[in-house]
Amino acid sequence: MTPNKIQDDKSSYDATTPKQYDKDNGGLISFVGDDALITRQARERYNNLIKMYRIKFKKEKAIDLTEDAGITLYKDNFGNELFLISSEHLVYFGVMNSWLKEKVSQDNILDKTIDKINN
């Protein structure tokens, strides 16, 4: 048994994309080696997903994500400040993004309290 496939019917506009790039990129501009070049808005979305699902991710994947995990600042040839996200963390981003689209419950106050006591 597999979950229903999520199909997006429109492109994702990212207003933080520098003018040298297509804005309908959903925040993913290109690949640089094994890493992905992302916009400021994509980085913010990734960090918001970590805030929403950090404990669930730790329980299910045995990985404790923190803000900006796997992300480094990158300055392109045009002088734009963008970000590189490692291929590993791009996969984590995708997992959490799919949870959001599938309306998977976010970390609740009880989970956050227990996590805080244990750490």
Pair of tokens at residue 113: 């309290």
Instruction: Tell me the one-letter amino acid at 107.
Output: D
Which residue would you say has higher pLDDT here, 54 or 118? 54
* pLDDT recorded at residue 11: 61
Give 31-71 pLDDT, tens digit per residue: 999 999 999 999 999 999 999 999 999 999 999 999 999 99
- Please give the Cα distance from 42 to 115 (Å, whole number): 27
* pLDDT recorded at residue 82: 97
* pLDDT recorded at residue 116: 84
Neighbours of 106 (CB within 10 A): 16
Is pLDDT of 10 > 80?
Answer: no
3-state helix, strand, coil in the chain (%, to 5): 40, 15, 45
